[in-house]
Structure 1
């Protein structure tokens, strides 16, 4: 009922339904922990849709606490941890986000292998966190891992792989390693060109950034002129299930 109300943007009514649902589920945590955790995740998504991020994070933490007690649901625990980390990062709680993202990366590597696309998204978000904390060297390491995984799992021309490449350029620019920043920004531009007219705006913006990088590199001006904010990526970590495990570490997601 709440989901239907959310789709109609009747948020006050939807919240009342979600509160009732949460109250019922609370009494079932001990007897049906898996089912309740899944329900909490679904309710969290409804709050997220309504931009009620604090409540969404709280519910995800409750789901995470239940899944921690279920060793057979390690993949779900990792997925929830990744989602919590993403939401914390999105709401500016960067230092709180990092432990959840790091835990998610390790858990999902164990569940799906080190080259799974979801692991790549988590490393991208770790890079975004460290870049915001003005630790560009660590950010560059995270973005490099993310790009490597994404190139293998979803392909170098996927939109999110290109974003990871641009993020790596941002990290190098923040370190004032302009030759590397220019190199990776050019790679991103080449990849955007492969999308044709569907990515004209992205290609144009990427070219502007490259031009600014070249100017900065030539005149030695401060890297503060270059945007250091990296966008966290939610895709790939919302719902990772065992049947998404690649056949091999080098297999590509279809």
Structure 2
């Protein structure tokens, strides 16, 4: 409660008293050190926070077989604290250990999906895009099985998966999962929710990457329309969306001009040159 109220010094002093009353090898002691680390982290005392988390992990590691669910949940909590300190590798490692334990518990398959989604997101965040994809794909399937195909959590996973595909120059795959995400967001959150608008923006990006500018413009116009409905609070996002829309229109115009130029017949002198150079007419197949 003291941590929630921002009274971190009081919380730390209280927890120091509590830790003396706990069993040195007990799960309760690990939880106290985890709470103490949270208070220290909120004070930017990262070295002390990490030391508390190391002690907690040392206790919990010995309980993996006897209390897998308790340990897995504790690792998930500790992982979030490492994430807050930008220690992403340690956070990912702890989540993977939690995932291994949860996969063996049939009643925790919904948690498996959530942890897989978190790992995938962190891998994407740290630039490990190819590693992120299988975790995100697995998370989407498990969350659909647990909560239904229209659950907003599935939409968020699809958004991240689409971003990963786009990063790997797979715009068609990205467009497909972004479309799923938009459909889910529209149903679960409503088409005017900021997350639904973001899904629309992502679709526009994917179609632009494919060179399908009419579709990209169509979705970007919906983004602009959606942001206009949010008033002054979304003015910065609206200005950026309008700028992107203008850029897409310019690219579309350039693309049409290039297509028309390529469709024009060759000049007469080229035809004469071609007649004098019979080899220039060799087909692609003959080459």
Q: TM-score, normalised by structure 1?
A: 0.86
The one of 30, 44, 61 equivalent to 1:26 is: 61
CA deviation profile, 1:135-191 (whole Å, cap 9, x unmatched): 101100010000000100011111111111101000000000000000000001111
Out of 174, 196, 218, which is 1:161 matched to?
196
Distance in 1 separating the partners of 2:146 and 2:217: 36
CA drift of 1:220 comes to: 2.1
Matching of residue 138 in structure 1 with residue 169 in structure 2: no
Q: 2:214 aligned to 179, 191, 201, which one?
A: 179
For residue 34 of structure 1, give the secondary structure of its aligned residue in structure 2: helix
Partner of 1:5: 40
Name the residue aligned to 1:103.
Answer: 138
> How far, CA to CA, are the matches of 1:158 and 1:36 in structure 2?
36
Aligned to 1:151: 186
SS in 2 for 1:220: helix
Counterpart in the other structure of 2:272: none
> What SS is found at the alignment partner of 1:157?
coil
RMSD of aligned Cα (Å): 0.8
| In structure 2, distance between residues paired with 1:51 and 1:175 | 34
> Secondary structure of 2:174's match?
helix
1:66 Cα deviation after fit: 0.4
Q: C-alpha separation between the residues in 2 aligned to 1:33 and 1:198? A: 45
Distance 1:135 1:110 in 2: 26
TM-score, normalised to structure 2's length? 0.76
* Deviation by residue 1:9-66 (Cα, 9 ceiling, x = unmatched): 1001000000010010000011111111000000000000000000000000000000
Structure 1: which 5+ residue stretches go unaligned?
Answer: 222-254
Partner of 1:88: 123
Task: Show structure 2 runs of 5+ residues with no match.
Answer: 1-35, 257-287
Larger helix proportion of the pair: 2
- Residues 1:63 and 2:98 aligned together: yes
SS in 1 for 2:127: coil
User: Aligned-pair distance for 1:103?
Assistant: 0.5
